[in-house]
Amino acid sequence: MTAATASVPGDRPRRGGYALSGVALRGVVCATPGAPVDNAVIAKTLGDQAVADVVKMIGVEARHWAAPDQTSADLCCVAAQRLLERLDWAPDSVDALIFVTQTPDHPLPASACLLHGRLGLATDCQAFDVNLGCSGYVYGLWLAATLIQSGCHRVLLLAGETSSRLVDPTDRGTAVLFGDAGSASAIEHDPNAPTMHFRMGTDGTGAGALIVPQGGFRAVDPDRAFTIDPSRLHMDGGEVFSFTLREVPKLVAATLADAGLEGEAVDAYLLHQANRFMLRHIGKKIGATDDQRLPINIERYGNTSSATIPLLLADDMAQRLTAGSARLMLVGFGVGLSWGAVLADFGPLACAEVISA
Amino acid sequence: MQTLYAGLAEIFEIDTSEVGPDTVLADHNWDSLAIVSTIALVDEICSELLDGAALGECVTVSDIVALIPQARAA
């Protein structure tokens, strides 16, 4: 592992960039719950005009919502079972399970432990949860890659969310935007795998821009006036948008610099599907404007938090990645505020598919 | 300035000729979507990232202009 550093005049050396080798992504399966829910269903609560105004910007035409008895772990479990079967990985060959979610089954134990049991993994397999959202898939890949470099042979990365449980159905900013999905990715040691360039960052001073104020162990500020239920997701769209425009182009440029590449050398940028308008705007800034280099699927799935990037891999990129390899930059950004990017040649994958759960 | 007015007109869904320094934002649905669109607009025109909260406090178009350093200098 080598840390990529670049001097900034009068500042400490820039950190946060890392190059890892010997790690390969073998396959990705995503699971979406039930039938797609179209905007007409939400318009019954919010009204046609309110929904139309939001949709014009965010671009979501349909999304999937989990059934009342269906959790993120359920969606990821279905995806993981299919993935293990497709790759012909015996459950006891998995050395580690990472579950990225903000909608776990219980406050404790970690849902990763429950998934470990359901998937029949071996008792010498480690399992843990990671509480991250929009940046979570890149962090998950980073953790999986570091585990592989530390001696693990096979790692299962599960990332999923049921944000439909967190949004206030009367808040048009979030009710239309979010969708539910689970994903499973298989990561394996491979001495011949190309180098992966990771770069991660955090701005905790912006934590309030995306928050569920109530439900943890800190009492809610009694002086704060909430316009929606404090146990529901609060999103300051303007703040999130400015943060994204400030950090993501820098992140993309720094990751390219780490790898010594120009932007044209990247076959496709898989950006967290936050909002169509924002994606197109960032696309212009980073020089990726067509759907081959900037695939967008938010119209079909909504913003599924940590599952958006695996959905791009398993849906839009499935043919390109099962037939051959592609140089991709995966970029996650949002709740935290937290961000991360990984640039590498991915594929060929043994499987990339979206199934129904 | 005309580019900014034209962009704002598109966001407000009105004619460019109707946008001027005294245009009252509240008359044109100045909500979070309009703010986000304005952040993108100003970023595109002059590579300046405006603060969402500051935009939320703007009353007229001239208040928006006052937030843009290049516009202030011009």
Helix axes A276-286, A48-58, angle to 10 degrees: 20
Quote the mean pLDDT of chain A.
94
**Residue A156 belongs to what H/E stretch?**
strand A154-162
- How much is the mean pLDDT over chain B? 88
Contact B52 A236 (CB under 8 A): yes
pLDDT for A179 equals 98
Q: Does an H or E element contain A129, and which?
A: strand A126-130
pLDDT of residue A344: 98
When pLDDT is cut at 50, 70 and 90, the band that residue B69 belongs to is confident
Annotated catalytic residue within A272, A275, A297, A351 = A272
User: What pLDDT is recorded for position B66?
Assistant: 93
The two three-digit tokens of residue A123, written as one number: 């008792």
Q: Is the pLDDT of residue A166 over 60?
A: yes
Model pLDDT, residue A222: 85
Using pLDDT thresholds of 50, 70 and 90, give the confidence band for residue A339.
very high
Could you check whether the bond before residue A310 is cis, i.e. omega within 30 degrees of 0? no
pLDDT at B51: 85
Residue A257 confidence (pLDDT) above 70? yes
Per-residue H/E/C for B4-48: HHHHHHHHHCCCHHHCCCCCEHHHHCCCHHHHHHHHHHHHHHHCC
pLDDT in tens, A273-318: 999 999 999 999 999 999 999 999 999 999 999 999 999 999 999 9
pLDDT in tens, A49-88: 989 989 988 999 999 999 999 999 999 999 999 999 999 9
Residue A58: alpha-carbon gap to chain centroid: 17
Catalytic residue among A39, A275, A297, A303: A303
Name chain B contacts of A237, Cβ cutoff 8 Å: 32-33, 35-36, 52
Alpha-carbon distance values, A199 to A85, A132, A138, A306, A330 (Å): 32, 16, 9, 17, 11
pLDDT in tens, A93-140: 999 999 999 999 999 999 999 999 999 999 999 999 999 999 999 999
Max Cα distance, chain A (Å): 58
Confidence tier at A221 by pLDDT (50, 70, 90): confident
List the single residue in A with minimal CA-CA distance to B56.
A238
Written as one letter, the residue type at A295 is P
Strands (E), A203-336: 210-211, 234-235, 268-271, 326-334
Contact at 8 Å (CB) between A261 and A22?
A: no
ipTM of the complex: 0.78
Q: Is A134 a catalytic residue?
A: yes
Q: Give residue for tokens 């809610």.
A: A220
- Alpha carbons A252 and A248: distance in angstroms, whole number: 6
N residues, chain A: 357
pLDDT above 90 (res A33): yes
Please check the confidence at residue A5 and state whether its pLDDT lies above 60. Answer: no
The whole-number pLDDT of residue B33 equals 83
- Distance (Å, whole) CA A83 – CA A93: 13
d(CA A247, CA A263): 17
pLDDT of residue B73: 54
A64 catalytic residue (yes or no): no
Q: How many CB pairs (< 8 A) connect A and B? A: 46
Paired strand residues for A354: A30
